[in-house]
Copies of this chain bind each other. A is one copy, B any other.
Amino acid sequence: MKFHYPNGKKYVEATLPSKKPKAKPKQVSYSNRGMTLEEDINETNQFYLTFQKAVIHKKPTPVQIVDVHYPSRSAAVIKEAYFKQPSTTDYNGVFKGRYIDFEAKETKNKTSFPLQNFHEHQILHMESVHKQEGITFVLIRFSLSEEVFLLPYEALRVYWDRMAGGGRKSIKREEMEEKGFSIPLGLHPRVDYLKIVHQLYF
Contact = CB atoms under 8 A, between A and B. Distances in A.
Interface of A: 1, 49, 52, 54-55, 57, 59-63, 65, 75-84, 86-88, 92-101, 125, 128-129, 131-134
A80 B77 contact: yes
Contacts of A95: 132
B101 A94 contact: yes
Contact of A55 (B54, B77, B83, B134): B134
A96 to B, nearest CB: 6
Shortest beta-carbon contacts, A-B, top 3:
A97-B133, A94-B99, A94-B134
Q: Which of A49, A86, A87, A97 has the most CB of B within 10 A?
A: A97
Given A75-B83, A98-B99, 10 more contacts: A49-B128, A52-B128, A55-B132, A59-B59, A60-B84, A60-B86, A76-B83, A77-B81, A78-B80, A97-B134
B97 A55 contact: no
A86 B83 CA distance: 18
Q: Which of A49, A84, A98 has the most CB of B within 10 A?
A: A98
Contact of A133 (B78, B82, B94, B100): B94
Instruction: Give this chain's copy count.
Output: 2
Contacts of A82: 75-78
A120 to B, nearest CB: 16
A83 B97 CA distance: 31
Contacts of A63: 60-61, 63, 65, 78, 81
A132 B96 contact: yes
Contact of A132 (B57, B86, B97, B101): B97
